[in-house]
Amino acid sequence: MFSKILIANRGEIACRVINTARKMGILTVAVYSDADANSLHVNMADEAIYLGPSPSRESYLLGENVIAAAKKTGAQAIHPGYGFLSENAEFCRLCEQENITFIGPPVAAIEAMGSKSAAKSIMEQAQVPLVPGYHGDDQTEAVIKKAADDMGYPVLLKATAGGGGKGMRQVWSEAEFSEGFAAAKREAKSSFGDDTMLVEKYLTQPRHVEIQVFCDNHGNAVYLFERDCSVQRRHQKVIEEAPAFNMSAALRAQMGESAIKSAKAIGYQGAGTVEFLLDVDGSFYFMEMNTRLQVEHPVTEMISGQDLVEWQLRVAAGERLPKTQDELAINGHAFEARIYAEDANNDFLPATGTLSFLQPPEESEHVRVDTGVRQGDEVSVYYDPMIAKLIVWDENREKALQRLTKALTEYKINGVTTNIDFLYNLATTPAFINQDIDTGFIEKHHSDIFHSNEQTLADELPMAALYLVLSLAEKAQIAAANTTDPYSPWNTTNAWRLNEAHLHQLFLSHNEIEYPVNVEQKRQGTGSYYLITVNHPQFAERTLDCQGRIEGDKLHVSIDGHRSQATITRDGDNISLYRQNGVFNFTYIQPDCGIHDDHEQQGGLTAPMNGTMVSVLINAGDKVVKDQPLMILEAMKMEHTIKAPSDGVVETLYYKAGDMVDGGCELLAFNTED
C-alpha cells in the first residue's frame, strides 16, 4: 500500500479522499491555486503544493505541475478525483512515464471511452444493448422507414449534421412517417445545408440509471448495484438515489452483468460507472461509461457499506477486490442532494459570495455531509458552485425521503443564494414521492416545484405574518432585559393599549404578489393571541384567530384551532417556511419612508456575476430585437448569454472578448425603442 498520495483536485472530493487516506494511515498532499490558498482541503492535508493562479487552466489542469508536485513530495500515487484531469488520457500516460501510480483506469480504457461513437462501436461488439437505430449511408425514404418499422414507434428522426433541435422530428406512428421525414429533411437542408438523416428509437419516459462497477488487476470484476440519476437540470444531476426504485432483482442482475461486460471489453481497472437509459418497458440501452469515481458515489457507499475510495486505493496498489459479487448486498435506501450556490428561480444561475453563516444538519448514521467549505469561505467564480452533498440513509425509500426533507430544513446557509428551497420543493412533490420520475421530471412538474401555480397560502401567509410579529415581540423583550428598567411600561410586549387596538400593518410578497396583512394583538391572561386579516380577494377578508410561539427555528401555531408547525429560516427581509408540501418564500416589504435611490442606472445591462467575456455579438450602434443574443459571459464553468430585454439600439459597449467582468457592472448602454 502507498505511504503517501497526492490528490489532484479541490473542494469536497479532495476532502473526501483525505478522510479515507487518513483512516488507512496514508499521508496526503494537496494542491491549490490562489483562490484555494486557505481552503479546507489544503488545511486537512499533511502537505500542500501551490500550482498557480485561480483559473483552473492555469493551475489544476496543468498536468506537468501536478506531476512535479508529486515528485517533490515523494507521493507514490495520484488520485484525480472527478473533473479536471480525472479522464485525461495524456495525464494518465504522463503518470505512467514518471513511474507514479494513477489511481484510476489504464490509458487505453480512458481513450476507448473518450469518444462516444467509438465507445458505442466497442459496446456493440461486446453485445451491450444500444439504442436501436439506423445510421447508414442509404438515405432513401424506404430504407429509413423500414428501419423505423422494424424498431417500432415512436422514433426520432435526426439530421446527422444537426444541433439545437433543428432537423429533428418525433414520429409516433407509421402513418406519420412520410410527412415527418420530408419536414425534417427540409429543415436540415435549410439549417445546415445537409439533409442526411438518421433514425433512432424514441424513448418517451426514459430513466437515467447507472451501474457502479469495480475491476482489479487480477481479472476480477463486480457491480455494486445501481443509482437512479433521472432528476436533472441542464443535463446535470440534482438528486440521486440508490437503489433505483421499481427495480426487479432480474433486471438489476441483467444491467449489472452488461455493465461488467462493458468494463471488461476495454480492459478496465478501478472504479467506473456505466450509464444506461432505462425505458418504461424494462429495456435498457448503453449511453456512456465514466472512467472515474462519480459525484454521487456516496449513495452506493451507504447502501453497500463499502468505502469506494478505499477500494480505489487498494486496487491501484495491486490488491484484489475486497469483496466478491456474492458477498455484496443492498441494505436500505439512500438519497444524495447536491447543495449548490445558485438561483433556481433564475434558470439556475450560479451565485458567488461569502458563506457568512453555514450550519449543516447534524451528522449521524442516517445523515452524512460531504463538503469542502467552512463558514467564512468564499464561493468564487473560478470553480463549480457546489457547496456540499447531503446524503441520507434509512431502511426504505419512504423513510429515507423523510430524512432528506428534514435534513434540508436543517441546512442553514446565508451569504449566497442556494438551491436548498428548490431541492426541498422537489423532494416533497407528489410525483417524486410516488416515483413518477423520468429525465424530464423538472420540466414536467415545474409549477409544483417552483410554486408558480396559484397558491392558496391559507395557512402559510398568516404563519409568516405571525412569525414577524412574534419576532418583533421577542426582540423587544431582549431589548427590555438589557435596559436599566426592564419593567418600564415602554418595554412591555403584552399588547396593553389605552382605548386603542394594538395593530400591526404588514406587507408580505410571495411570487411577486403583494399581500397586505393586519395583525391585531389581544391580551389573554398573561399572554396574547392574534387576529389576522389578509386584505386580498383570495382570502375574502376572513379574520383568523391565531396563537403561536417560536422555539429555535420552529414556529408552532394554532390557526382557528388547527395546530401545526413549520421550520423557519430568515435572511434579512426574506422569510422561508418549510412545510410538508414545500417551501414558501415571503419577502417582508418594509414601510416606504420616502427614501429613494436617485442614482439608479437606467438603460444599461449588467453582468449577473463575475466572469470572463467570451464573445461580443453586436457592435455599438446596432439595432437589435427582443431576446437577441448580445454577449456571452463565461463563469463557473458555464456560458451565460446576455440578451436584449426589448427592441432597441446598442449605444455603447464597455467590454470586449477576453475582458474580466465584475458581477453587477454595466456591460453596455442600451436605448429601448419607443
Backbone angles phi, psi at 405, to 5 degrees: -65, -40
- DSSP structural state of residue 490: G
Q: Which of 153-162, 205-214, 332-341, 346-355 has the lowest mean pLDDT?
A: 153-162
Mean pLDDT of 226-247: 93
State the pLDDT at residue 598: 41
State the pLDDT at residue 336: 98
State the pLDDT at residue 670: 87
State the pLDDT at residue 636: 65
State the pLDDT at residue 474: 80
State the pLDDT at residue 98: 97
**Are 224 and 215 within 8 A, CB to CB?**
no
Mean pLDDT of 271-293: 92
Strand spans (E) along 164-220: 168-171, 197-201, 207-215
Residue 352: other Cβ atoms inside 10 A: 19
Mean pLDDT of 395-422: 94
Residue 193: pLDDT over 50: yes
Most confident of 403-407, 415-419, 655-659: 403-407
State the pLDDT at residue 569: 86
State the pLDDT at residue 451: 80
State the pLDDT at residue 599: 38
State the pLDDT at residue 165: 64
Residue 604: pLDDT over 70: no
State the pLDDT at residue 249: 96
Mean pLDDT of 400-414: 94
User: 124 falls in which pLDDT band (50, 70, 90)?
Assistant: confident
Most confident of 113-117, 347-351, 390-394: 390-394
* Burial bucket for residue 13 (CB in 10 Å: 0-12, 13-18, 19+): buried
Residue 229: pLDDT over 70: yes
User: 168 falls in which pLDDT band (50, 70, 90)?
Assistant: confident
Residue 420: pLDDT over 90: yes
Mean pLDDT of 595-615: 64
State the pLDDT at residue 596: 44
Residue 340: other Cβ atoms inside 10 A: 27
User: 368 falls in which pLDDT band (50, 70, 90)?
Assistant: very high
Alpha carbon distance 298, 668 (integer Å) = 45
Annotation marks residue 227 as catalytic: no
Q: Which of 42-46, 132-136, 495-499, 575-579 has the lowest mean pLDDT?
A: 495-499
Q: Hey, what's the cell of 74? A: 515523494
DSSP, collapsed to helix, strand or coil, labels residue 617 as coil
Give 543-593 pLDDT, tens digit per residue: 889 999 999 889 999 999 999 999 888 888 889 888 887 888 899 998 765
CB contact set of 203 (below 8 Å; sequence gap of 6+): 131, 277, 279, 285
Angle between the 89-97 and 107-114 helix axes, to the nearest 10 degrees?
Answer: 170
Give 612-655 pLDDT, tens digit per residue: 888 899 999 999 998 898 988 877 656 678 888 888 899 999 99
Most confident of 118-132, 290-304, 489-503: 290-304
User: 342 falls in which pLDDT band (50, 70, 90)?
Assistant: very high
Give 4-62 pLDDT, tens digit per residue: 999 999 999 999 999 999 999 999 999 999 999 999 999 999 999 999 999 999 999 99
Mean pLDDT of 398-426: 94
State the pLDDT at residue 489: 58
Residue 496: pLDDT over 60: no
State the pLDDT at residue 579: 85
% of the chain surpassing 70 pLDDT: 91
Residue 223, sorted as left (phi over 0), alpha (psi -120 to 50) or beta, turns out to be beta
Q: For residue 567, what are the β-bridge partners?
A: 554, 578
Interior angle at CA 159, CA 175 and CA 440, nearest 5: 75
The radius of gyration of the chain's CA atoms, rounded to the nearest angstrom, is 29
Residue 174: pLDDT over 70: yes
For residue 337, what is the enclosing H or E element? strand 333-340
State the pLDDT at residue 500: 52
State the pLDDT at residue 492: 56
Give 436-478 pLDDT, tens digit per residue: 999 999 999 999 898 866 667 888 999 999 999 998 888 767 6
Q: Which of 227, 292, 338, 368 is catalytic?
A: 292
Tally the C-alpha atoms within 13 A of residue 606's C-alpha that lie toward its C-beta: 9
